[in-house]
Structure 1
Amino acid sequence: MAKFLLSLHVLASVLFIGPVAVAVSMFPRRAAAALAGGPERAAEAGTLRLLHRITQVYALLGIAVPILGIGVAQVMDVLGQSWLIVSMVLTALSALALLLFVLPAQQAAVDALDLDTGAPEHGKAVQGLRLLPMTAGVFNLLWAVVVVLMVIRPGSTTGA
């Protein structure tokens, strides 16, 4: 049962968190191009909407990753180990970064696409993009640390 749950956990991580990480990373540059105007604005606007939708949908599907992870930890009887607790805290922090910073900034940028470039809301969306690359980087860094912790499992006696 542990191997089956672990396989599902790893598959969910790759299939659900991977697309979110890529979409979150690509969004700031595409948003800057779309909001700047110019001849490529229409194409960039479509890409921007798609990246935002990918982030939303796959973030929702990504809830399966920690749920399966907790199931694996219970079956393997490692729920109280410090590396796992740190991983769960980092996962929660990445989820908060996504919910509180990334998704609202993405939504503001998508909403600003329908506004005239001189509108105050358009200017606010452009200003909001200033921190989005950093927030995206923090989100991805947190997930990278979680993956490393899952692989090396400090203090593990399995030899991994």
Structure 2
Amino acid sequence: MAKLLLSLHVLAAVLFIGPVAVAVSMFPARAKAALAGGPDQASATASVRLLHRITQVYAMLGIAVPVMGVGTAQIMGIMSQTWLIVATVLTVLAAGVLLVLVNPAQQNVVDALAEEAPAADLLTRATGGLKRLPMTAGIFNLLWAVVTVMMVVRPGSTTGA
């Protein structure tokens, strides 16, 4: 059972977290092009909407990753190991970055692009959040990279690597 849950956990991470990592990384450049206008605006706007939708949908599906991870850890009897606790905290931080920083900033851009002539405050929120999006996307991706390495290396693990 542990091998099945572990396999599902890894598969869910690849299929659900991977697309979010790519979408949040691609979003700022496409959003900048969409907000700038020009001949590429329609294509960039469609890309922005799609990338935001991918971020939202796959983030929800990504909840399966820690759920299956906890199930796997319980079956393996490793819930109290330090590396797993640290990885869990980093996972919660990554989710927080996505929910509190990335998603609202993306939504502001999508909202601004939905308006024919966006209000000044909406445009200010969209462009202000857009300036921070590459950094917050990088933080989100870095947190997941560290969690992934910890899952493979399992520093200090008594179960072997």
Instruction: Give the TM bin, normalised by the shorter chain.
Output: over 0.9
4+ long deviations beyond 4 Å: none
Taking only aligned residues, the RMSD between alpha carbons, in angstroms, comes to 1.2
Task: Give distance in 1, aligned partners of 2:64 and 2:94.
Answer: 15
Q: Is it true that 1:43 corresponds to 2:43 in the alignment?
A: yes
Q: 1:55-94 alignment to 2 at 5 Å? A: 55-94=55-94
**Residue 87 of structure 1 aligns to a residue in which SS?**
helix
Q: Which runs of 5+ in 2 are unaligned?
A: none
Partner of 1:149: 150
Task: Give distance in 1, aligned partners of 2:118 and 2:74.
Answer: 55
Could you tell me which amino acid in structure 2 is paired with residue 33 of structure 1?
A
% identical aligned pairs: 68
Normalization by structure 1: what TM-score?
0.96
Pick closer, same or farther for the CA change 1:53–1:13 going to 2, 3 Å: same
Could you tell me which amino acid in structure 2 is paired with residue 93 of structure 1?
L
Q: Is it true that 1:136 corresponds to 2:137 in the alignment?
A: yes
Partner of 2:52: 52
Could you tell me which amino acid in structure 2 is paired with residue 65 of structure 1?
V
Q: Is it true that 1:100 corresponds to 2:104 in the alignment?
A: no
Alignment check: 8 A CA contact 1:117 1:123 kept: no
Pick closer, same or farther for the CA change 1:124–1:156 going to 2, 3 Å: closer
Offset of residue 156 of structure 1: 2.4
Q: Which runs of 5+ in 1 are unaligned?
A: none
Total equivalences in the alignment: 160
Task: Give distance in 1, aligned partners of 2:155 and 2:39.
Answer: 52
